[in-house]
């Protein structure tokens, strides 16, 4: 159990680190004045960064899936499927000639949906922790709403899509940090160590 918990935390920590970098990239790019050339450059930089993040995280998810092994079929299949979707998304962005911020918004939306659904699902198993259950339910619903907003982002301007992607990365990062910093009572007593 401790080994599996460490694998989950490792993957969430990697994702939080990468998303923090994306948030800082959006903050940096958003602070500079925009012109036509700069907007095209920003779009290209964001497409390259997001494609790299997807391939990197997809590879990590695949490796973590193999670490779980056949004893944990649900985790193995979940992480393998997520890894394949991530790598395919990253490769599509890398080789597509029509990639734009709107395309990124469409490709990121299923990941927001999946993360939101996972949070709602986890909240169902936390009957004895009402505060955490409510927080997970609220965060899960907000991620699903973010996924819908990202789908609608294909009709927005590039500036609005960039802001939406930046806010989405920031919200997801904060939720991941909450997961990483959360310690159950049993962990504090030393029964389970992360």
Read off the pLDDT of residues 30-66 as tens digits, 9 standing for 90 and up.
665 555 555 666 667 777 788 888 888 888 888 877 8
> Is position 27 within any domain?
yes
The sign of the torsion formed by the CA atoms of 13, 19, 25, 28 equals negative
Q: What is the model's pLDDT at position 188?
A: 46
Name the domain count of the chain.
1
> Is position 181 within any domain?
yes
> Is position 69 within any domain?
yes
Provide mean pLDDT across the span 99-105.
80
Q: What is the model's pLDDT at position 2?
A: 66
Contact 65, 12 (CB under 8 A): no
Contact 48, 99 (CB under 8 A): no
> What is d(CA 61, CA 81) in angstroms, rounded to the nearest whole number?
9
Contact 192, 2 (CB under 8 A): yes
Supply the mean pLDDT for the chain.
77
Contact 100, 158 (CB under 8 A): yes
Give me the domain span that covers residue 28: 2-189
Residues 6+ apart with CB under 8 A from 141: 116, 120
Q: What is the model's pLDDT at position 3?
A: 66
Provide mean pLDDT across the span 153-180.
80
Provide mean pLDDT across the span 22-37.
66
Q: What is the model's pLDDT at position 192?
A: 46
Residue 141 has pLDDT above 80, yes or no: yes
> Is position 194 within any domain?
no
> Is position 165 within any domain?
yes
> Is position 18 within any domain?
yes
> What is d(CA 56, CA 58) in angstroms, rounded to the nearest whole number?
5
Residue 187 has pLDDT above 50, yes or no: no
């Amino acid at each position: 159990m401790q080994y599996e918990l460490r694998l989950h935390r490792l993957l969430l920590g990697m994702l939080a680190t990468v998303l923090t970098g994306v948030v800082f990239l959006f903050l940096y790019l958003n602070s500079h004045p925009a012109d036509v050339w700069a907007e095209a450059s920003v779009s290209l930089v964001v497409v390259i960064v997001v494609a790299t993040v997807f391939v990197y995280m997809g590879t990590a998810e695949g490796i973590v899936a193999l670490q779980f092994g056949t004893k944990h079929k649900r985790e193995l299949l979940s992480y393998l499927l997520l890894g394949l979707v991530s790598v395919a998304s990253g490769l599509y962005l890398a080789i597509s000639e029509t990639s734009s911020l709107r395309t990124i918004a469409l490709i990121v939306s299923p990941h927001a949906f999946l993360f939101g659904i996972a949070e709602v699902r986890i909240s169902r198993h936390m009957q004895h922790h009402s505060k955490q259950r409510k927080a997970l339910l609220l965060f899960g619903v907000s991620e699903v709403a973010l996924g819908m907003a990202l789908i609608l982002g294909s009709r927005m301007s590039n500036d609005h899509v960039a802001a939406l992607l930046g806010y989405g990365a920031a919200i997801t990062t904060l939720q991941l940090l909450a997961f990483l910093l959360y310690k159950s009572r049993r962990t504090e007593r030393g029964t389970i160590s992360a």
